[in-house]
Structure 1
Amino acid sequence: MSALETFLDETPGEVRGMVVRGGRFERLIIQRESDPPQHRLGARSVGRVTTVDAGLKGAFVDMAAGEPFGFLPLRKSDRVAVGDKVEVEVSAEPREHKGVTLSLIGAGEGEARLLRPGPTVAETLTRLAPGVEPRAGAAAMRASLEAEEEAMAPGALFAHLGVRLMVERTRALVAVDIDHAPTPGRDGRRDKTRANREGLAQAARLIRLKGWGGLVAVDLVGTGHDGAAILAAARAAFGDDPGVAFGPVNRFGVLMVSLPWRETPIEERLRGADGRPSLETRAVDAVRRLGVALADDTATPYLTLRCPPAVAPMAGALAARLGPRARVKADPALTGGVEIDEG
């Protein structure tokens, strides 16, 4: 892979964009046809104020997309009342069963409605990688599956760096643990410095890939760190986003970072309330795998996707958009995965 690549996977029911930098996945953007367009990052709408909560210093806004309503933080100078029409823009997508977070554009007119959709996946890829033409087709579908696998994993081993990384999200914060395996015969202190620098870079990458924000606690290798060097490495890793804030390394060797929330976390997009892949996720994933098989095998008259009966109706409707060679069959013998047969 080149230094910077992008992929655009337009599987029926879902569009995904992937950014790859230096051979590693940096971003995974997912937009589903079932997403309310008013909830996408950057979407602008007219909404009606339903509640003003002085304790939360904000208001809840109905944008004709159902509940939960969007939350609009208010400054002291903002004057809104229940029933007012306001023009708002999504600054953070839904997460943790909460609605979108909004920014106030100004007074609104007319009924609650979408004024302007947020950027498409293709437009987001163009912003993140200007001048890079996205790869599509089977290559993009495979990249999509690989990116999802890494985004859903809790950690990674970077053997060539001697670094093992765990990145886990709790309700309170994101915990990052950087472990280092010393190399015999090498300068241990220098190795630890390198491990922390590389560990910070990979932790920041994985957090971006997962779509996470909030408070991040990074447990560095060793103690007695050079605070200025660690801060420089953290800034290089997490970028120059003005919404990012860094704390000093404490005496326990922990660095605190605050990241802005903007996107729905990948695991919340893909999993249901029970923590398992949702029915929609399973159906789209099955159709994506069928799409790869169809691209790889252009000689067979048609391919049949066998899937669990619960998945088959949704998968069948989506697979029909792949063309006449795609077929779907419910198989009661399958409870989890899918099978693809010739003919």
Structure 2
Amino acid sequence: MADVEVFLDETPGETRGVIARDGLFTQLILHRDSDRPSDRLGARCVGRIARVEPGLRGAFVDLGAGEPFGFLPLGKDDKTGEGAKLEVEVVAEPRERKGPVLRRLGEASGEPRLLAPGPDVTAILAALAPGIEPQTGVAAIRAALEAEEDALSTALVESSSGLDLMIQRTRALIAVDIDHAPAPGHDSRKNREAANRAGLSHAARLLALKGWGGLVVVDLAGVGLHGDTIMKMARAAFAGEPQAAFGPLSRFGLMQLSLPWRRTPLDERLLDGRGRPTLATCAIDMTRRLRLALLSDPATPRLVARCAPDVAVLAAPLVEALGPRAGVRADSLIAVGVVRIEEAR
């Protein structure tokens, strides 16, 4: 049995749920107060077909919250036309500036509107780790910060198996490179097998943590690999994803698989197009770190976070929600993304 820990961090502006299994983070669920409820996974809405796109075999659906509209795949013989009212469910959240992907539930009437929001973070954690009470407070904040760092990483080295792993996403696919460092005096074939097993396991974990889906190409360590052995490793690694589809191992040591998209990728939630934290991310992160300082130091009467002016503007209402012991101060000499927490004087 895996040792499972669950964390719930409710920082003003953002709620995070984190799951760790055997000391490794496997899930990071992030909901922001600014999210459109109609875009969250599992939300049910009445939608109006805004336009049908035969070339895409689908329709764009107005959910009542403006663009980007949701996308509803249509069957070859589906005659649904513009203006039709349908009850739909979100099966994949927005990504890459596209709206959510929808599933038709039935006919509907009335104006586009939200019927029921998707499950909140607490409910999601309960479904993923039933019966385990989430840890909150300091432990949850630290887990939220560490899980974010893990999720945004692109490289992993594990000395016990000799694993050297890289994982990157392009517009077309996700590339996973599994390599290994031979250890003197050890069986190189067994070392490669251990590295491939560990690499596939970590790849599955990191893909889930990042919220990535689509086509995945894995470059395995070594040549002349045994296809059946590799496929058993891969299926075991991705056993938690029932919709994973596997392709055969190529003679070049490449394996392909397909994973469903469900949640908005974490990097798209937190970073801008240049890979830097957005101002909103900086403001929430500063608030989270200030909250950690307040909980860790209950004796200090008041703590103030100093940050860049643009971040301070967004953070002010979030910090106010922390109570009278918390404050924020704009400092034009501090770069965006940097925060200094100090006792108020």
Q: What range describes the TM-score normalised by the shorter chain of this pair? A: over 0.9
1:77, distance to aligned residue in structure 2 (A): 4.8
1:274 Cα deviation after fit:
3.9
Q: What does 1:159-238 align with in structure 2 at a 5 Å threshold?
A: 159-238=159-238
Residue aligning to 1:128: 128
In 2, Cα distance between the equivalents of 1:269 and 1:240? 24
What letter matches 1:257 in structure 2? L
Displacement of 1:3: 1.1
Q: Structure 1: how far apart are the matches of 2:287 and 2:240?
A: 38
What secondary structure sits across from 2:109 in the alignment?
A: coil
Structure 1, 299-308 or 68-77: larger mean CA deviation = 68-77
Select between 75-84 and 161-170 the one with higher mean Cα deviation. Answer: 75-84
Question: Structure 2 length as normaliser, TM-score?
Answer: 0.97
1:339 and 2:344 are equivalent in the alignment = no
Q: How far apart, CA to CA, are the structure 2 residues paired with 1:24 and 1:241?
A: 17
User: Residues of 2 paired with 1:280 and 1:163: CA distance?
Assistant: 36
Q: Is structure 2 residue 92 aligned with structure 1 residue 117?
A: no
Aligned to 1:150: 150
| Structure 1 unpaired stretches of 5+ | none
2:342 maps to amino acid: D
Secondary structure in structure 2 of the residue aligned to 1:311:
helix
SS in 2 for 1:224: coil
Deviations 1:243-262 (A, max 9, x none): 21001110100010100111
Match in the other structure for 1:31 = 31
Task: Write the letter of the residue equivalent to 1:165.
Answer: L
Q: Please state whether the residue corresponding to 1:161 is helix, strand or coil.
A: coil
- 2:297 matched to 1:297? yes
Would you say 1:66 and 2:76 are equivalent positions? no
* Counterpart for residue 108 of structure 2: 108
Is the counterpart of residue 75 in structure 1 residue 64 in structure 2? no
CA separation in 2, counterparts of 1:236 and 1:109?
45
After superposition, the C-alpha distances for 1:252-278 in whole angstroms (9 at most, x for unaligned) are: 000101001111100000012343211
Partner secondary structure for residue 289 of structure 1: helix
- Which consecutive residues of structure 2, in runs of 5 or more, have no partner in the other structure? none
TM-score (norm 1): 0.98
Which position in structure 2 is the counterpart of 1:5?
Answer: 5
Secondary structure of 2:144's aligned partner: helix
Q: What does the per-residue CA deviation read over 1:189-220, in whole Å, with 9 as the maximum and x for residues that have no partner?
A: 11111111111000110111100000000000
Q: How many residues align?
A: 342
- The offset of 1:103, in angstroms, is 0.5
Q: Secondary structure at the match of 1:55?
A: helix
Separation in structure 1 between the aligned mates of residue 274 and residue 233 of structure 2, nearest angstrom: 38
